[in-house]
Structure 1
């Protein structure tokens, strides 16, 4: 788990503690120690799900020492070096104790801390010994404090040295019960609910949202195990996630608090941070693909791990961006950027390469037999709920949450016959949004696509797209059509439904941001079937796309997707005519191409679009373009950039467009209004 503490990134049960600097003033050191002691003492009111006795014993010891430190601050402004040395060691140990107590009380980590009880007890024992060692260094005779306080310190030293900080019997019993349930899962045996409830009661987990927090924590730990090439604990983490997921699905009838990632809305901070970042910053400077495992080299530049490793294996010892020689090839995982990329891709429906670490995380995390068997049981349980119409919205919500996470989850749900049951719920007002969102997630699975189509799902989904009871349900329907349209024959079937394409175009104009995104990518995918070209034009796609460009949206992907669709439409004469009829279309295309902040992908689509318009529109298009000197500069700059980065297809298109404009300029006195270059000269660039 990524934990922010004092601005640093820390995983659970790791201690980013540091020694105070040697030149620190004794008064400053004492003040910091006392503040740490107060923070540790405040933990006594918190709930410890496991290692209760060890944690409270540590808090009690620090309480003794706090009295000593506060009197020392009053009595001795000038401290001997030996005392400062001991206090410095105490400061380091106090930091580690505070981190450990934070982990013991962390929401979402209760099960994991229970299963690590022995390791946690070892930490408490080691830190208690560290306290006694630090106190031994301090010469109490050289300090002007009361005899009573000195006795406190001596007592704390003896107790720290002799403390029996071991795993508590109750923790051992709870761990044994968890291991027993995992064994039942592996053997395909449904566990007794009483055993599950006993574990959750012991951990203080009493609601769906608390259970879900445990699942999310375990999931994030698995992701970081793979991100940092640490796979030792992936197996047990996956099994525990199966345990907690089963509990979440089976034990709770009510989804409380909407603390799931389904119900979570981004905070204003998250929105602001993502909106001010250019998505191109998430791309590896070497591969130009979204980074799935960002790592930083010693120059401070970040690359995808696989790309920079190939660079090093080829014998290069320099930073690819700066050319600076690297003193070492150490790679530091950029966890903060990883989280931003993950959130950006999730929010915008972007999938990353299957070879990326992010996808391998999902597949590996569920390879344990216990997890797989638990998911089969969960899927059968939810299918029964849906079949009996027993709390259908609760079941649909759970399918929605599960199907979002992994391929294995989607496979288990599909095999349990969930798809036709969800389709039957789409006309139901109270269940529609959860059912549609679940179908969107399941539509990513190849067999689920077929099940949706074979059970009449296309018409039902288009019905939600046009008449859904909420904008969220409508945007989920658009997303499902995108995944279904990835199958060639289904593109034709979707296009044959009269309301499908007009519904997507309407969502581009009136939908929320995610709805716009889903509609845009769906339209682009449907255009891969030639029969849908005229239908997209007839539905008013061009004005809707130009309006989106004119709206001043600061979401770069909307611009990129709109330009990609316009470029695809312009490849045919009727598409060119429709675009040219939209008076401001050419202006906005040129503006994006000349923009200094537009993405490279957007500019590439601009080049493709302008080239197609020139080919089909002739002098009507070329003449105004030739008049713009800034356009030519932008084209030359882009052509140079594409040539350097090896994008041959886009480079050829930019070269062809430059030639068209140059030849028109040279022939302009002749008054020719026909296309400047024969079309066959451009066949190789398409």
Structure 2
């Protein structure tokens, strides 16, 4: 049996094609990962799947010397592995055997190196040994992967099988080495070669007894969840202890890794591949880890760590401008930066939403995208990842455009993969958090609101569970706390829950609008807390009745106008603008916005040196205000505002900005009468801009531009004396013809 297995492996290697993919180069130092035979680094954001072991075959005809030097580097790297915290969390015995065999192989290769007389006949065996060592290195890297410990535990059988195959390949390659190479070096080399082969063939690789016990405990805990009862804390801690998870932060790392695995499998299903059976298992494991993090750990040990969902300025080094790491659309830290055809970089999720909404222009420059292909910005991702790792946070794998659906959304009730066990675990975790809202100490409430903020941000399912658990009234009670961290987390949690229709209804029914407005107007509140409270008003304003109710609070609209005028951050101003825009869907709020000085504030923003997207938001808000007669009169009465709007129409690169600007001018003509039409007809540059939009604008913009042109032409024809000869409407350039828009 031994001989047959060895011979079949050798025949398999002999039939395998050798890919000419690597050029022979000078070898790097021992232990270096930049040796000529090291696997190429894939710069694509989609990363190697755990326990998949790709390997790069050396090029055909490569000289034995660089191949041997690269083998020394590989063996030294594998032999130096000792696992996380001095040991491997799973397959401890098998992994230690592999490391020991790699050490013996390194000693053998170092005996060969001084001779430098390896014949070309040894190339095939060395090539296969090189491929086997690459796979062994990948496998050991996976076994010590932080965040993947629970996933490796439940896949211990697969990992053991891969490890056996890798060690068998090492043994077969050693047996295939020409006898002249082994015996010609030294006696020690021959003994080491036989020892490596014998140890690799005889290595016993299977899940340890502790691994088996932990796996049975996981299955037992999931059964307890399925039957509706919480597991014993000792059983859950026994599993965590086995895989080396002993803190809140390490639980979060496990959840982030499982989340990325789940996203990858769902992406495969969306791409037309078969629906992975692992999806249900991953959901169960995620729910188990969430329950452990919420219930078993009393303290958050990551208060000073960076949070990937928060602005980068909080931890960005001085040599990097924080705004360069933020997506221009969401103003949040990019986790999967991609570059579009105009050269601008965005987060994949936000630019994908933009393109799928039918926009074919660059949000920053307004240029038309020549192609919708997204090129991963590996350099920027590397900078972000290194910065986060230096603060103890790992950047999850955001490899797919499907992430725009909030990767946690896979846990929504519409997804059948969310099993009864996972649902029960989630409900128990949510019930524990809400109980801490009611009767927990200050520290317990701080942790509970942090958990609510995290869980509700990325998961529709947890969002719905919090609403059903009546968490909204308790979170509203926590808005009056003097603890800034609790208040900040409570407002952020309410913001996430306000994205759910039931959450908005619960907030209004509990009388929460006044409390949210109080958070915005209170002196001394954190800027981020105020911004989140303003965003809550935006989601509430999607309902006309709620928008009218918000307008009844006398300080609500004036405070939004004040934030637009003197907001401390770009994001804060934008949040205030979109919230005010939503409130203006209620006609009664128009007069309140005008009385609060919104037109003057917006005019100052349009006249100042501000970014293009802020100017576009300003024009869109002015267009909404001008829909009512009082708003249009306020715009016309503001000194210099109408000429500035005409300049914006000519200079703006934003198609949406041009559309809102034309709509604003149409509203001014409708409510201002012939006097305004005559004024616009004399504006330098307006007619040329309108004709350009008729030729190149979107269908909606073309319709508005034609309407405005027709109004101006009609007014000009009516005002011209009948005895006067026909003359063109004034245009900025001599020789321009006036063509009536159809």
TM-score category, normalised to shorter length:
0.7 to 0.9
Give the 3 Å change call, closer, same or farther, for CA 46–374 of structure 1 in structure 2. closer
1:36 and 2:81 aligned = no
How far 1:182 sits from its partner (Å)? Answer: 0.9
Equivalent in the alignment of 1:474 = 530
**From 586, 600, 615, the counterpart of 1:529:** 586
Equivalent in the alignment of 1:464 = 519
Indicate if the aligned counterparts of 1:54 and 1:121 stay in contact, CA closer than 8 A: yes
Equivalent in the alignment of 2:178 = 139
**From 572, 576, 600, the counterpart of 1:543:** 600
Give the 3 Å change call, closer, same or farther, for CA 192–356 of structure 1 in structure 2. closer
Equivalent in the alignment of 1:361 = 410
1:220 and 2:260 aligned = yes
How far 1:238 sits from its partner (Å)? Answer: 0.7
Equivalent in the alignment of 2:283 = 238
1:7 and 2:37 aligned = no
Equivalent in the alignment of 1:87 = 126
Radius of gyration: which is bigger?
A: 2
1:609 and 2:664 aligned = yes
Determine the C-alpha separation between the residues in 1 that align with 2:406 and 2:268: 10
536-545 vs 457-466, greater mean Cα deviation: 536-545
**From 93, 97, 102, the counterpart of 1:53:** 93
Determine the C-alpha separation between the residues in 1 that align with 2:203 and 2:374: 38
Determine the C-alpha separation between the residues in 1 that align with 2:579 and 2:357: 32
| Partner secondary structure for residue 424 of structure 1 | helix
Structure having the higher helix fraction is 1
Determine the C-alpha separation between the residues in 2 that align with 1:281 and 1:7: 12
| Partner secondary structure for residue 426 of structure 1 | helix
| Partner secondary structure for residue 529 of structure 1 | coil
Indicate if the aligned counterparts of 1:111 and 1:214 stay in contact, CA closer than 8 A: yes
How far 1:422 sits from its partner (Å)? Answer: 1.2
Equivalent in the alignment of 2:236 = 196
How far 1:250 sits from its partner (Å)? Answer: 0.6
Equivalent in the alignment of 1:298 = none
Question: With structure 1 as the length reference, what TM-score do the two structures score?
Answer: 0.81
**From 201, 206, 227, the counterpart of 1:187:** 227
Determine the C-alpha separation between the residues in 2 that align with 1:305 and 1:35: 50
How far 1:544 sits from its partner (Å)? Answer: 3.1
Give the 3 Å change call, closer, same or farther, for CA 64–636 of structure 1 in structure 2. farther
**From 373, 377, 396, the counterpart of 2:424:** 373
1:656 and 2:713 aligned = no
**From 152, 155, 158, the counterpart of 1:119:** 158
How far 1:271 sits from its partner (Å)? Answer: 4.2
Taking the TM superposition and a 5 Å limit, the aligned residue runs for 1:222-301 are: 222-229=262-269, 230-258=275-303, 259=305, 261=307, 264-266=310-312, 267=316, 268=320, 271-274=323-326
How far 1:670 sits from its partner (Å)? Answer: 5.9
Equivalent in the alignment of 2:251 = 211
Q: Unaligned regions of 5+ residues in structure 1, if any?
A: 296-301, 308-319, 324-330, 344-351, 677-684
Question: With structure 2 as the length reference, what TM-score do the two structures score?
Answer: 0.75
How far 1:492 sits from its partner (Å)? Answer: 0.5
255-264 vs 113-122, greater mean Cα deviation: 255-264
Equivalent in the alignment of 1:382 = 433
How far 1:488 sits from its partner (Å)? Answer: 1.7
Give the 3 Å change call, closer, same or farther, for CA 19–360 of structure 1 in structure 2. same
How far 1:119 sits from its partner (Å)? Answer: 1.1
| Partner secondary structure for residue 15 of structure 1 | coil
Q: Unaligned regions of 5+ residues in structure 2, if any?
A: 1-39, 270-274, 332-336, 360-368, 386-400, 730-740
1:22 and 2:71 aligned = no
419-428 vs 93-102, greater mean Cα deviation: 93-102
**From 395, 403, 410, the counterpart of 2:448:** 395
| Partner secondary structure for residue 57 of structure 2 | coil
Taking the TM superposition and a 5 Å limit, the aligned residue runs for 1:165-184 are: 165-184=205-224
The count of aligned residue pairs is: 626
Equivalent in the alignment of 2:614 = 558
Give the 3 Å change call, closer, same or farther, for CA 65–661 of structure 1 in structure 2. farther
Indicate if the aligned counterparts of 2:662 and 2:704 stay in contact, CA closer than 8 A: yes
**From 158, 182, 196, the counterpart of 1:156:** 196
How far 1:440 sits from its partner (Å)? Answer: 1.1
Give the 3 Å change call, closer, same or farther, for CA 660–41 of structure 1 in structure 2. farther
